[in-house]
Amino acid sequence: MSHRRAFLSSLWMAVAWSVMIAATYAQEERQRRETLRAPFPEEVRDSAVISPDGRHLAYVQPSGEQQAVVVDGKTDPAYDRVGALNFSPDGRRWAYAARTGTDWRIVVDGTPQGAYRRVGRPVFNADGSRLVYVALVDEENVAVIEVGKPPGKSYQRILDGDLFFSPDGKRLAYGARKEDKWYAVVDGTEFGPYEFLGASTGIQFSADGKQVAWAALVDLQAETWCVVVDGKKQKTYDNIGQMVFSSQGSRLAYTAMDGDRWRIVAGDQEQEGAYDAVGEGTLLYSPNGKHLACAIQSGGKWLAAIDGKPLRKYDEFAGYDGVAEMKFSPDSRFLAYVVAVGTTEMVVVNTREQKTFDRIGGGTLVFSRDSQRLGYIARAGDDAVAVVGGKRSEPYDMIGYLNFTPDGRHTVFAATKDTHAFTVVDGREASRHFDAIWNPPGRRLIFSTEKAFHYMAIKDNAMYLVEELTE
């Protein structure tokens, strides 16, 4: 299921296609404002990056035998090679790696920093006030560099080159190797040594930034792992799967293998039950932090479970062939998840099954803010449809970025058919067409007010920021 869902998510959420409106469909001329961001020829599109706030565009453009970064139509100085282009979360700042001769630098807002043998991807904190990256500082060692500060301590390796900021952006953590042992480095303090660190779990901060956790291999011969919270080792297991903090920031849960069975650990307590497997990426807390959900497998069948208890009994229900994406409603009362039934898929809310489709779009489950409505994107044969409150939209070639207005009254999405792209609000198609509609990865149509949303759109080889009203 995981590989298939990843494919579906990239397919439906990119919306880089076109559509032509059939004359029988309802159309309306909605108020909008279009702002030219930059020329956008075909040859730069593979390098294009849209800022997380969905308002800015950057890409790499050939400049003779060199390359230059273009941000909202303004061209930075050219270098022999550029890459790893990244925006700050608010879209106001940008950074990338650039090479001149044998020297690599990070360029921040157009200004090059110090030269190194190699540099990694630049990473901004939440408000864009800090920028860090990994640099090769000599023949064998790397260090974490923070712009505006002296280089950090050097190590043999930084784990996967990954750097982790706390949600408030005040704390920084990463995994590092020295003298053939691994350490978790948090705000410059080393915790360890360990035989290895969990690359898939990474280092995670609680929502309030006060706690930090990671998985560590503590006994190489016995191959035992444990979760470490604020430097304190927890119980050892044969493996650690997923870790997740509650949105309240006070509770940590993780999956752990004990022998050939998987368990759920919440806080320092094992929940009842042991399973053949726990669905990858399905462990999550409810928004109020009171419930913990995951997908569990037993006897080759899958079910959803809350607080360690299956929502249905195995002896009364055969289970599903797979459980993928899971999502709680904002009020924590409903758990929606996607299940496989033979060659089809369907959405289940708590235990209530909805209609089956050929596919459910990965990452498309969305609740209205008042928790009263659920929407998702599905494929039936050659058609893509948006399903909201159990009702299908008109069929399109592709659909993406499904979302509710902040008040939950309206649904919006982008759609394609034939040769153009457009938005749809409550089933009414915009009369304005584009060649394609783009959004930041993983984002839905973004609302700036209760009635206004925005997106990037391509028309005649140019990219526009389009701000549109729902009414």
pTM for this structure? Answer: 0.90
For residue 45, what are its two tokens?
């599109």
CA–CA distances in Å: residue 161 to residues 28, 135, 144, 183, 220? 49, 9, 9, 14, 23
Strand, coil or helix: 2: helix
Query: Sign of dihedral through CA atoms 441, 9, 377, 438?
Result: positive
Contact yes or no for 142/107 (Cβ under 8 A): no
Are 40 and 461 within 8 A, CB to CB? yes
DSSP 199: T
Given a contact cutoff of 8 angstroms between Cβ atoms, the answer to whether 408 and 372 are in contact is yes
HEC string of 227-254 equals EEECCEEEEEECEEEEEEECCCCCCEEE
* Cα torsion 72, 77, 80, 86: sign: negative
Residue 416's pLDDT is what?
97
CA–CA distance, 288 with 374 (Å, rounded to integer): 19
Task: Decide if 340 contacts 320 (C-beta within 8 A).
Answer: yes
Extract the residue ranges of the chain whose pLDDT is less than 70. Answer: 1-26
- CATH number at 1-44+277-471: 2.120.10
Contact (CB, 8 A) for 90 and 55: no
Distance CA 325, CA 282 (A): 6
User: In angstroms, what CA-CA distances link 334 with 18, 311, 415?
Assistant: 35, 12, 28
- The total of other beta-carbon atoms located within 10 Å of residue 121's CB is 18
Per cent of the chain over pLDDT 90 is 87
Phi-psi region of 258 (alpha: psi -120 to 50; beta: other; left: phi over 0): beta
Question: What pLDDT score was predicted for residue 299?
Answer: 85
Distance CA 77, CA 394 (A): 47
**Residues 436, 420: contact at Cβ < 8 Å?**
no
